[in-house]
Structure formats: C-alpha cells, structure tokens
Structure 1
C-alpha cells in the first residue's frame, strides 16, 4: 500500500516522474495516487521529503485449486505466428492431457483472428483472442496489462512462453505482476504424478547440472522455453479450436512508450533452429581458417555451420553460429560434431538431434556417448574424405 503524507508533500513532481504506471498526479499541488498504482515503491524512493510511505507488496493468497488449464502465449509478429508457438503447443498438449485439462492459446494483436484456425490445427482446444488497435505492435506495458487482467480473470494453472526476445521481455514482467515464479530456458517439462505440479527442468550452475524447479504455492506456473527445444506439434486441419474473445480494458493512457519505427536488420542471420542438417566445429578445428573445411562440408550436404562455445570464444567464428546452453538449441535431422569434446553446455543444445555423427581424435571424448555414429580420427583428414565421397555420388 502506498500512502502520501500531505503535510510533508511539496508537490515537486519527483514521484510523478518516476512512477512506471502513471498513477500519480501533482496537479493539485500535492501528490495524488490513483487506482493504477502497482505498489512498486518507486515513488517513495524518489521523494526528497519522505512524504510517501510504501509497504512492500505481498503476494495475494490464492487457492491453487482455483487454477485450471494449460496456456501457451501465441506470439505473432506482423500477423505471422512464431515457430516456437507450435513447439509449445506440442509440449502443452502433453501436459494438458496428463492433467486432464484444456489446452489454450492466448493471442494478442490487431486483426489477428485469422490465426485462430492455425492454432487449432496445431492442437489448441481454445484460443483466447485479445484484439485491439493498441495491440498491433508489441508493447511491454500493453501486452502485460492485458495478459495479467485475463489471467486474473480466468486463472490458468500453467503458462508457457517462448524464450524469444519478446518472450524474455514479457515473461518476467508477468511473473512479477502475478506474484508467481518463472523458470527460464527450460529444456524439459513434465507433471508430478502426485502433486500435479509442473516440473520445470533447466541447466544450472553454468550448465554443469540439470535442475528441476517447482512452483508449489503460487499460480500460474510459468516457464519460458527456447525455440527448437520441444518437438513441433503435429498439424491436423480437422482439429478446431473454440475462439473465445476475451473482455479486457486497455486505453492509450496505459501505454507510456510508442513505437516510432521498426528497422529490420540487413544482416543475414544464421538459421540454426530450423536447419535440417548442421555441421558444427569446436576448438579442435584449430583456427578460423580451419572452419572453411566445416563450411565446405555443410555446403556439400546442404546444411548450415554451427559451433561450440569454445570455438566462438577462441574467435574462430561468430557467436550467431553457437550451439548450446548459451547459444541456440537445435534439433536437426543430422548433426555432425567435428572437433567438439562434448561439454554438457553443448550437449544441452543439440541432444535432441535425430542423428548425431561425432568426429574426434580423442576416443574418450564425451561426445561419443551421445553420438549415433562415431569417427575417431583427425577431422582435417576425415572431412576431406567425406567431401570427396559426397561429391562423387
């Protein structure tokens, strides 16, 4: 609770300038706080006269039994759903079936109702549609307000968000507003058969261990999942979702930032996440020059070039090629690891590949333990032979 001590207030406006919710006005000569206040305490910290008292907000006591259903944040950009949404729907379907509950997608935007059929075809039982011209462009304040209002009204037990740039922005704000936990960059999700709580697994302590995290006392249970980690849901055009238009309040006064222009990068990005074949090099490649061999093999196979963190840190190749916990998570049909020892940080990013081929001159390299096929030898001798054989076919 935030309280203004009017006898001390001098109406300087310092609190008004710091309020992130636009809940303070000093037009009358003293600070007045509206019901938009979120109790963050920024005003109390800014006041030079100690005229504002702010008690630390406490999480409301919620009955866990009131929360039902699994939700997926259906991120769209320019009217196109992100691939990670279909991956989350696939995983969300498994969770919902174990809980014997409904799988819903919450979709925000302007004139995006045409996406509802696609969400249904990928497994959503219900699409919670939130449309407004104010939601046309992604805005943290607008999206957070709408999603929080709808969640407080409908009370889902689980909310899954893609760990994209937008997901990593909106997720923490939602969890703070909802007084619940958020587990970021999950690599596995499951349901506890006894408590029916969400088991959220992710790398911890620099990727050296896998930690399973629970949210026992608060709802919704929130997780972000990296693109490429989960298997994409099967497409079934016969599966239709119920389109449920949500009621919410959103005014232009709720938004304090405005998108003036969106400039897309001209740099051609490496698309590791959607690649069918990836040829990755590690420190064993030896140099940036050595990566030309990796690139040649990738070109012959029609694949893309990946790399381990150690190769990136050594300056052999750019960070946009990095596969692993601190890079991209991939699940290609074929993954070739050349000169990569197989640190757990790297394995976390490629362990779901359909077929892994390892090339390493160290017979004890950990990468061989996860490889379907292993070649113990010098990559600088092995790869040229592979290229020659492929070109002759």
Structure 2
C-alpha cells in the first residue's frame, strides 16, 4: 500500500504545505511517493527527495505543466492513481482545484480538509464551519484526500534520500490556458506560514486606520498581516489577507485579533492558533470565547500603546 502526495511548488521551491501533507500521509503507513508536476522543476524534485519519510519522487516535467493547470495535472494523477491506495494533496487553492477533478475522473468520493487520520480508510474532518468534527469512513478503492495542513506537523525537510524517477507527462488537455499571474510581494512573512499574525476587522473603520494601526505593530512583532472577511469586503485590504472559512486557514504561534467580533466563519480559520489575543470594545464579542488573552478597550488607544510598549 503506497500513498501518492501531490507536491505544491512554483517550479523552483517546494512549498511548506507539502511537508505537512507528507506527515498526514505517514499516518496511513506504507511507502510515500511525491509527484512533482511542472516544468524545469529539478530543484523541486531534489528538495522533495530530501524530505524525511518520502520513498520515491516522481517527476513529470513538460512545458504544458509549467502553469500546473488543474486539467492537465488531474489527468496526469488519474493515470498514476491505480498504483496507489491513497492520493493526498494540501487543502490549498491549488489542491482544492486539482483533487476534485481527480476524484471525478476516478469515480470516487473526495474526502476534504482532513484534520486527523484514524486508519487507512477512516478520517476526521471539520463540518459546520469547524463547530463539529465528522469521522468519515471510505470504501472506495482509491482514497482521494485533501489535508488541512495546520492540523499536522511538517515533516523534516532534510534527512530523506528518495529515488527520483521521470514519469510520462501526458498531453496538454487544451481546456484552459494561463492568461496572467499577479504575485503580491511583501517584506513580511507569508500569511499561511507565519508564526505571528496581526489581524484586523471591521472595527478599524477604514483601510487608512488598518494600515496606521496594524502595520507598526506587525513590524514590531515581525508578523504577517491578516483580516476578517468583513474588513476585506469593506475594501480595507486585498482578499489575500483574509483569514477564515472562505480565506486562509492559519495556526500560528500567536494570533492577535484587533477589532474582530469573531463570526464562526472567521474562527474556523484561526482557532487552532497556539495563543490568541483579542482586542475589542465589546465584552460580549464571540472572539473572547476562543481567546487566551482578551482586552476590552478602544483599539484606537490600546493598539498604539501596545506598539509603543514593544519598543
């Protein structure tokens, strides 16, 4: 019994989400093979081969896989899948784009966003915006699974010595093409992988207030910036800042929620944080139910004082 893990990468760097997914796959037992589908991605394949616990790295390298379009990658995985009992991918935007197509091509049910592995055919996943956990047992011959990466420790990036081999790349499905890609660059840590996150909500009142209050604090803490959906919908920040059920799922060492009331959709995206600090003027705000430390006060006074106290 072997598990195929779909690597997430940019043709140059193996992304951290793959390491968490390898850890989840290790709970199944048996060999773990990692598929690197891309173009000129030799560096990614070598990085995958060094990951602890990986037995083999399969490389599909071709120009039509450069953009890793879901139709092309799904067709490739479908051809490889009969050799495996499980196909795993991170529950990121890329994984959520590819694996449902794989499941449809294989005529099996996908098991989404797992947070625990009970056995080779039984998994735990959140439902109702994370307010309940469902234990799901699958009888499908191939289990197609996306992994909530924050629920699993990352596998060691070094220590492995997996064999690397090329596999057939298939052909271009011709169903889609990449028109363009806009990449947001920041000196701050990336939101999904940050150890500290400072997040703001609608209570900040405007984008100007968001930047004026939260950026100095984030700079002092070397933190990533996040936001609630309400703040994103109000136009305070771009949607790649959004934390929550319809945004990014995060679990940093420290999550500072400022002016966020704590709707269940937002809590679903951050309640697994190691330490949660909430600042809100409403003592009844739901965010205080999950906070380790809560401060009831005017954020326009409290946040500058906090930033100042940090030196």
Q: TM-score range by the shorter chain?
A: 0.7 to 0.9
Aligned residues: 307
Rounded Cα–Cα distance in structure 1 between residues aligned with 2:8 and 2:65: 12
Contact 2:71–2:176 at 8 Å: present in 1 too? no
Matched, 1:191 2:118: yes
2:263 corresponding residue in structure 1: 343
1:89-168 superposed matches below 5 A: 89-93=22-26, 95-96=27-28, 100-133=29-62, 136-137=65-66, 138-152=68-82, 154=83, 156-168=84-96
**What's the secondary structure of 1:280's corresponding residue?**
strand
Matched, 1:243 2:164: yes
**C-alpha spacing 1:236/1:190, structure 2 compared with 1 (3 Å):** same
1:294 corresponding residue in structure 2: 214
Answer with 1 or 2: which has the greater Rg: 1
Q: Specify which of 277, 280, 283 is matched with residue 360 of structure 1.
A: 280
Matched, 1:85 2:7: no
Contact 1:337–1:357 at 8 Å: present in 2 too? yes
Unmatched 5+ stretches in structure 2: none
**How big is the shift at 1:179?**
0.7
Rounded Cα–Cα distance in structure 2 between residues aligned with 1:266 and 1:145: 27
1:303-342 superposed matches below 5 A: 303-342=223-262
**C-alpha spacing 1:123/1:367, structure 2 compared with 1 (3 Å):** same
Q: Specify which of 116, 141, 145 is matched with residue 219 of structure 1.
A: 141
Rounded Cα–Cα distance in structure 2 between residues aligned with 1:249 and 1:295: 45
Contact 2:200–2:231 at 8 Å: present in 1 too? yes
**How big is the shift at 1:141?**
4.1
**How big is the shift at 1:220?**
1.9
Higher relative contact order (CA 8 A, sep 6+): 2
Contact 1:113–1:129 at 8 Å: present in 2 too? no
**How big is the shift at 1:386?**
0.9
Aligned Cα root-mean-square deviation (Å): 2.9
**C-alpha spacing 1:234/1:130, structure 2 compared with 1 (3 Å):** closer
Rounded Cα–Cα distance in structure 1 between residues aligned with 2:243 and 2:289: 18
1:249-288 superposed matches below 5 A: 250=170, 252=171, 255-256=173-174, 263-265=180-182, 267-268=184-185, 271-288=190-207
**What's the secondary structure of 1:77's corresponding residue?**
coil
Contact 2:11–2:39 at 8 Å: present in 1 too? no
Provide the TM-score with structure 1 as the length reference. Answer: 0.68
**How big is the shift at 1:357?**
1.3
**How big is the shift at 1:227?**
5.9
Contact 2:20–2:153 at 8 Å: present in 1 too? yes
Contact 1:108–1:135 at 8 Å: present in 2 too? no
Rounded Cα–Cα distance in structure 1 between residues aligned with 2:298 and 2:33: 51
1:162-181 superposed matches below 5 A: 162-181=90-109
